Structures are given as structure tokens and as C-alpha cells.
Amino acid sequence: MYDKIKSALEKAGELMIKVSDGQTFELHLHNTKFHNDSRLIELDAGSETYWINAEEVVYMWIHRVKE
């Protein structure tokens, strides 16, 4: 799942994910780092930093704007 999330974020520029405990996160290229050694995703949310285990992600989606 780690590689799928990384690839999808690189392609779309932003990505929504939901983890197994029900939390949702919005990832952006400018505030997300991927740690290949630990396979963790680091999200800098301004006042908080989240370390997300990619194996806990149950699904992901991209915001679509209707034109």
C-alpha cells in the first residue's frame, strides 16, 4: 500500500486516506514525506505531525471538482 499511496500522491498532488481506526488525512506534496526505510508516511499538519503506517490505510481517494 505504501508504494500505491506514494505514486497516487505524486500523480495527483493531493490525496485523501482513511486508516483502520477511522481517522482521515489529507496528504499534499508540500507537507508529506515518505520514509522508505521504515515505510512510514510523515504528515506535517502545521501544529501537529502524524506518522502513518501505510499498512493501516483502508482506502484512499482524490477530490474531484465538477466543472
Written as one string, the DSSP assignment of 2-37 is HHHHHHHHHHHSEEEEEETTS-EEEEEGGGEEEETT
Beta carbons of 65 and 14 less than 8 angstroms apart: no
Q: Provide the edge-to-edge strand list for the sheet that holds 24-28.
A: 24-28, 14-19, 57-61
Of 46, 32, 31, 22, nearest to 2 by C-alpha is 32
pTM of the model: 0.88
CATH topology of domain 2-61: SH3 type barrels. (2.30.30)
pLDDT in tens, 3-33: 999 999 999 999 999 999 999 999 999 999 9
State the pLDDT confidence band at 66, using cuts at 50, 70 and 90.
Answer: low
pLDDT score, position 56: 97
